[in-house]
Amino acid sequence: MMVQVWHERVPTFGINSPSFPDGFVHVATVEVDARDGDTPQSIADWAFEATNTVSRPWWLAPAVVSHVGPARSTSVGDVVVVAGIPWRCEPVGWRAVQP
């Protein structure tokens, strides 16, 4: 499954975040090996981990196609799109973005 990762153009870290997709840039597409029983939130977790720099820059990860080159790690306020539904990263977990 392909998951889109969108970062806020100006990071607010969840405080007065802009509406999606205005104020966001599509930074990456992540290939997630989704399995039966995976929830949208668990798939979002996987994309979050794949687009965070820990031991190497995230844009060099094999499952990630970067659309912007080097960029900050995914954080609170950013959005991942799982099966066409946008999910905003919260301080704990994910919240579906209302149209």
Q: How far is CA 37 from CA 6, 22, 33, 42, in A?
A: 25, 32, 12, 10
User: pLDDT tens digit string along 16-53?
Assistant: 989 999 999 999 999 998 888 899 999 999 999 999 99
Mean pLDDT, range 83-89, rounded to an integer: 97
Find the domain containing 18 and state its range: 2-96
Q: What total number of domains does the chain contain?
A: 1
* pTM of the predicted model as reported, rounded to 2 decimal places: 0.94
